[in-house]
A = this chain, B = another copy of it.
Amino acid sequence: MKENGRSDPADLFAVLAAGLVAHLGVVVDGHPMVVPTVYGYDTERIFLHGSVASRSLTGAGQEVCVTVTVLDGLILARSVFEHGVNYRSAMIYGIPRPVTDPDELLHGLRLLTEHAAPGQWDYARRPSRKELAATRLLALPLAEASVKISDGDPSDGDGPDAALGLWAGRLPVVSTWGSPAPDPLLPPGIEAPPHIARRTGERAN
């Protein structure tokens, strides 16, 4: 697998921009636990949502590893041994901080919301004071991060297996947004707003 570590912060932000779900790794009573969670980020930190994670972590001062992976496709080589995947992945390490300040909770929730659904923060009803108090967010600095990007062709095209005459190449996988499906309880006549409707068919990663 042609896998390259990257040290340019732009690569980290590109992976964070492309991903939708992060996998949060924590150690609970000595046992590793990996939970999926949505996220948002600014230039300094990643904000994570999720009651499971928060329950395990709030106030614990424990290290976590947050991994965001975007799968770009398969590398189909002439030999099984040279098969691989093309992907972009970011791992962020550190000790997260529970967000408790109402302004920072708002900031974090806005980033989370806008990352998954740009435009929703201005469209939907924003959190009340009570809802904010019930929101569990974690903030993790982006200072310790490692990015790996694999973007390659099969590596056996100039070796002895080339003589097998087999097809080899990449098989891409692409995530796209589907058509919005209205809530069954929605009264007739309310159309999906442009910031939602125009995503149909657009790449999600």
Q: Please report A residues at the B interface, Cβ cutoff 8 Å.
A: 20-21, 23-27, 30-36, 38, 63-67, 69, 71, 73-74, 76-81, 83, 85, 87, 89, 91, 93, 109, 113, 116-117, 120-121, 123-128, 131, 134-135, 153-154, 157-158, 161-162, 164-186, 190-193, 196, 199, 204
Contacts and interface: CB of A to CB of B under 8 A. Distances in A.
Q: Which 9 A-B pairs have the closest CB atoms?
A: A157-B185, A172-B178, A25-B34, A23-B23, A25-B32, A34-B67, A36-B69, A79-B125, A81-B131
A91 B20 CA distance: 19
A157 B180 contact: no
A150 to B, nearest CB: 10
A95 to B, nearest CB: 11
Chain copies in complex: 2
A198 to B, nearest CB: 11
Nearest to A62: B32
A127 B81 CA distance: 6
B25 A69 contact: no
Contacts of A170: 180-181, 183
A80 B124 contact: yes
Nearest to A67: B34
